[in-house]
Amino acid sequence: MRKTLFILLLVLSLALVACGGGSGSSDAGSTVGNAANGEKLFAQATIGLRSAPGCITCHSLEPGVVLTGPSQHDIGLRAAGRVPGLSAEEYLHQSIVDPNAYVVEGFDAGVMYMTYGAELSEQEINDLVAYLLTLTGK
């Protein structure tokens, strides 16, 4: 009887440890997203809690095609050098949650939807970042 209880407790604590590790609500921005899910999110006409305009409505995936925002054809390559001190991943994350922190040359501040940070989950943002990193112009 005691043994069963012990095993039950052991299993429970292992489950807790496993869940705790996975739900990374860390603010370090280093959580790896799911690129396949990010691709789906990017292609949606609307996105997030308040049905904000989707990324694809302003960003083409074709080279050189400028809609309201720059083409994301090779954003996975461009992201790395954009802002000194920011990795590609950090830059992309910032571009989504705080678009005015760095405004791409030739575009105006305040045009990209401003409140994705509050309307998308951290997981969705990480998934989008993971997807954008795969866009290397090929």
Binding site for ligand HEC (CB under 6 A): 47, 53, 55, 57-59, 68-70, 75, 78, 82, 92, 95-96, 99, 103-104, 107, 111-113, 116, 128, 132
Nearest-angstrom CA–CA distance, 135 and 132: 5
CB 74 to ligand HEC: min, Å? 9
Q: Which is nearer to ligand HEC, 35 or 96 (CB)?
A: 96
How far, rounded to the nearest angstrom, does the alpha carbon of residue 55 sit from its chain's CA centroid?
12
To ligand HEC, the closest distance from the beta carbon of 104 in angstroms equals 4
- Closer of 37 and 107 to ligand HEC (Cβ): 107
- 24 or 117: CB nearest ligand HEC: 117
Whichever of 75 and 130 has its CB closer to ligand HEC, that residue is 75
- How far apart are CB 84 and ligand HEC at their closest, in Å? 14
Task: Say how many CA atoms lie within 13 Å of 17 toward its Cβ.
Answer: 6
Of the candidates 76, 43, 47, the one whose C-alpha atom is nearest the C-alpha of residue 60 is: 43
Give the integer Cα–Cα distance in Å for 75 and 114.
Answer: 19
Report the nearest approach of ligand HEC to the CB of residue 25 (Å): 20
- How far is it, in rounded angstroms, from Cα 61 to Cα 65? 8
How far apart are alpha carbons 21 and 16 in whole angstroms?
Answer: 9
